[in-house]
Structure 1
Amino acid sequence: MTIDSSIFKAYDIRGIYPGSINEDIAYAIGQGYADFAKPEGEVMIGMDIRLHSKALKDSVIKGLTDAGIDVVDVGFMSTDMLYFGVGNYKFGGGLQSTASHNPPEWHGLKMVEKGPTPMTLEHGIGQVRDFVLSGKTVNADKKGSVRKMDIWEDYCKHILSWIDVTKIKPMKVVLNPNFGLGGKIFEKIVEMGKLPLELIKLNFEPDGNFPKGRPDPFIPENRVEFSELVKTSGADLGITWDADSDRVFFCADGGLFVEPYFLNTILIKQMLKKHPNEKIVYDPRYTWALLDAIKENGGTPTISRVGHSYIKEILKGQNALFGAESSGHTYYRDYWYSDCGMIPPMQVLEYLSETGEKLSNIMAPVLSKYFISGEINSDVSDKEGKMNEIAQKYSDAEVSRLDGVAVEYPDYRFCVRPSNTESLLRLTLEAKSKELMEQKRDEVLAIIRS
């Protein structure tokens, strides 16, 4: 069996089926998980709607049970259900057969230990990789058992517990799950909570072929159809998820797509209103609007490097209330220090119901105060050298090397970070006017690409 070690990535395992990931490799990964995690109690496993996720899941189960591990097979689930299941039922660990928002030929696995504690390349994924490459096997005298379980109802109840359902006012909402499970899950939440929402469905039925391309709302061209439907239908709100439903994005009435950076100011406000004087975790990509929201609502800002393992570590280590990323991930202390794609829509619906305002009006002040570049990637062979050059060039500014290089002046700031897995530098820049943002964006890009 030939193994492509590059499938073992910083936070998960991803490869193209059947070349770099297939049933044999999935079996070996199940064995490697058992060898590394040595779980006490049952291990939960589920899958997304990709065409071969079930075959890979079944092979992982065989690898686990051959190693003597008892398995709970929960079938279809979103990635944030992995954290819910392992945390809520106190399982010994968990795996999800998913390749997140990648194109349909990609398949993979996310893995957590009990807690849930995320497995990363440094802790867990690297050790599983080494086990798989070694060709070792684990064969227990007593094989593990498999039982099936449906966790959707308990999950939906938990999501509804985050809000006062009686406060939700009638609204028209466009849902775009990008052919993943997010729409079906949200629909069940609405039914169980008897929420007075009229749902308008786009790309709604789960389909592992992802017929409209890469199922990722972070890509601007994937937002056009969604925003247009919010506008033409006269909807109050649009909600869209990536294929495994752990990242969520919003469109305001009138078709205005709201970048997660700006939307997170509402979530911060909602969290601090219910839990005052708590710590909020943010990362250095964009900061000004978040710092305003945290301070105005009596919170304490706590910075973290970009990446879910770093954010979860700080969330847990400092017992912080909430963490927000501009990539659409949102993290909650009371969601087992994990990210969730369904709590934010509940909080936005609650906020709109409480204020009686349109989302477009609520977002207008912050959208007219800060202007952002979006994340711009550049291929750079010497990433460290280029970041040092930038730090030197802007040495009269406030410079941080926490994560790449972050440069701050009174009227603009930017962050240049290296990709974990590719020879890319990623630029994010914000400024206090659109003209300055565009000017400085082009200036910094010219340095990166020179």
Structure 2
Amino acid sequence: MDLSCFKAYDLRGRVPDQLNPILAEKIGRAYVEITGAKKVIVGYDIRLSSPEIADALSSGLMAAGADVFDIGLCGTEQVYFATSHYQMDGGIMVTASHNPKDHNGMKMVGPESRPISSDNGLNDIRDRVLEPFFDAAEQGKYETLEVMSAYVDHLLGYIDAGSLKPMTIVCNAGNGGAGLVIDELEQHLPFDFIKVHHEADGHFPNGVPNPILPENRSATADAVLQNGAAMGIAWDGDYDRCFFFDETGRFIEGYYIVGLLADQFLRKTGGGKVIHDPRLTWNTLDLVEAAGGEAIESKTGHAFIKQRMRDEDAVYGGEMSAHHYFRDFAYCDSGMIPWLLVAERLCQSGQTLSSLIDARIEAYPASGEINRTISDPPKVIAAIEARYGVGAKSVSHVDGLSVEFDNWRFNLRMSNTEPVVRLNVEARGDKALMEAKTEELLEEMKRLNV
């Protein structure tokens, strides 16, 4: 049996050769045997293959003795929400996020929506799939569970509704599932939503919903300009990530959103801890300190960030890849809470999104993440460290290589899944220096890649 759909953090593969109903049924059985779960939330995204795979998964869960609570078509964060809110033993979301439309996958959590990845059960589930199965003495039950109303109430709890003012917002669901939530939230908010690629459609008529790709941004940017909107928001297919455009239609790097949300959240909580990744840090550190919070660095990746947030009881965590995590959301990531907080900030401050962001870009210009294919990543990273580590203010290995000088810094890290090295560079108020150092590092990587 081809088990190549099992990855480090979740399952993803082509349908039907790498993931299909037969395998999904076995995965359901294995999940129960490995975790011991008795009550499991199941949800699925808009992909055409998702209902059939979710049905087979549910059959396997029930055959192994677990009760299934089917929340239907939803986003990944609704599985997270339902699992923790209803105190279930676990949850499984059938989704392949922003993968091609002929792919599908699963994201799994345990009690309190704690992630299940390769280092805490996912590999055991994979290995168990290969063994024979026997039906449980007592089959699990099946019921549907309506979670949208409780979920929407929870989302609205993050903002002060009384401070909101009428405002035009472009929202681009990318024909994923986010539009269904916007339609529900719309009834409670004074905003005028301009809806782009709004209908959920697993054929992906406008391309795979992945706003991080520059070619997928123009529909949102154009709609912002045409409608004089205050901002634009775009989501990936299972809407656990959201991406922002200011009122000029400019795409905003996720790094600057982390700082903005940290600042907004700490204003509400009157302090607290904020978890961030090591790729780009200075803007976040500056804003967190100014708002009376404590910034704590964590290795990149949702499993690491969520665990560190639990360890530190952090109020918020953010990654520049547009994942935003919230303590009161079971320490999980949400693609809906961030834009509500940004909209609230615009209403309360009377500022434009560009004015909030421009000052931060000017203070800490950054390269954004640049990927290069490298034949021997460890060798190249070691050589870069040998050259730049000398005379550096600090050298860190929290995640890859971070080297810091007085007025610029960089992070260089390997991909977990491909021979790619990812570079991020930032400077203090000196865009020309940032650009020069970025070019210098890229040339050095090219020279070493032989």
In structure 1, which of residues 19, 27, 30 is the aligned counterpart of residue 17 of structure 2? 19
SS in 2 for 1:372: coil
In 2, distance between residues paired with 1:211 and 1:406? 41
Q: Deviations over 1:168-201 (max 9, x none)?
A: 100001000111111220221121x2x1111111
In 2, distance between residues paired with 1:85 and 1:11? 20
In structure 1, which of residues 237, 243, 261 is the aligned counterpart of residue 231 of structure 2? 237
Alignment of 1:308-387 (within 5 A): 308-387=302-381
Aligned-pair CA distance for 1:260: 1.5
Aligned-pair CA distance for 1:215: 1.2
Q: Deviations over 1:251-279 (max 9, x none)?
A: 11121221121122221111111112311
Alignment of 1:35-54 (within 5 A): 35-39=33-37, 41-54=38-51
In 2, distance between residues paired with 1:327 and 1:81? 20
Query: Which 5+ residue runs of structure 1 have no aligned equivalent?
Result: none
In 2, distance between residues paired with 1:253 and 1:83? 32
Code of the residue aligned with 2:141 in structure 1: it is: S
Does residue 150 of the first structure (1) align with residue 169 of the second (2)? no
Aligned-pair CA distance for 1:435: 2.2
In 2, distance between residues paired with 1:438 and 1:220? 20
In structure 1, which of residues 258, 276, 279 is the aligned counterpart of residue 270 of structure 2? 276
Alignment of 1:1-20 (within 5 A): 2-3=1-2, 5-20=3-18
Aligned-pair CA distance for 1:137: 1.4
Residue aligning to 2:98: 101
In 2, distance between residues paired with 1:136 and 1:376? 46
Residue aligning to 1:119: 116
In 2, distance between residues paired with 1:294 and 1:136? 53
In structure 2, which of residues 370, 385, 389 is the aligned counterpart of residue 391 of structure 1? 385
Greater Cα shift, 263-272 or 288-297:
263-272
In 2, distance between residues paired with 1:254 and 1:187? 25
Does residue 440 of the first structure (1) align with residue 437 of the second (2)? yes
In 1, distance between residues paired with 2:369 and 2:103? 23
Code of the residue aligned with 1:46 in structure 2: it is: G
In 2, distance between residues paired with 1:64 and 1:31? 5
SS in 2 for 1:6: coil
Residue aligning to 1:182: 178
In structure 2, which of residues 397, 418, 430 is the aligned counterpart of residue 422 of structure 1? 418
Greater Cα shift, 269-278 or 146-155:
269-278
Code of the residue aligned with 2:145 in structure 1: it is: M
Aligned-pair CA distance for 1:50: 0.4
CA contact 1:35–1:138 (8 Å) conserved in 2: no
Greater Cα shift, 360-369 or 65-74:
360-369
SS in 1 for 2:205: coil
TM-score (norm 1): 0.96
SS in 1 for 2:56: helix
Aligned-pair CA distance for 1:227: 1.1
Size of the aligned set, in residue pairs, is: 444
In 1, distance between residues paired with 2:32 and 2:166? 48
SS in 2 for 1:255: coil
Aligned-pair CA distance for 1:210: 1.4
Alignment of 1:400-415 (within 5 A): 400-415=396-411
Q: Deviations over 1:311-353 (max 9, x none)?
A: 0010001111110110111011111111111111111111111
Code of the residue aligned with 2:340 in structure 1: it is: M
Residue aligning to 1:56: 53
Residue aligning to 1:207: 201
In 1, distance between residues paired with 2:138 and 2:39? 14
TM-score (norm 2): 0.96
**Structure 1 429/138 Cα, relative in aligned 2: closer, same or farther at 3 Å?**
farther
In structure 1, which of residues 223, 233, 251 is the aligned counterpart of residue 245 of structure 2? 251
The percentage of counterpart residues that share the same residue type is 39
Query: Which 5+ residue runs of structure 2 have no aligned equivalent?
Result: none
Residue aligning to 2:64: 67
Residue aligning to 2:163: 167
Aligned-pair CA distance for 1:101: 1.2
Aligned-pair CA distance for 1:225: 2.1
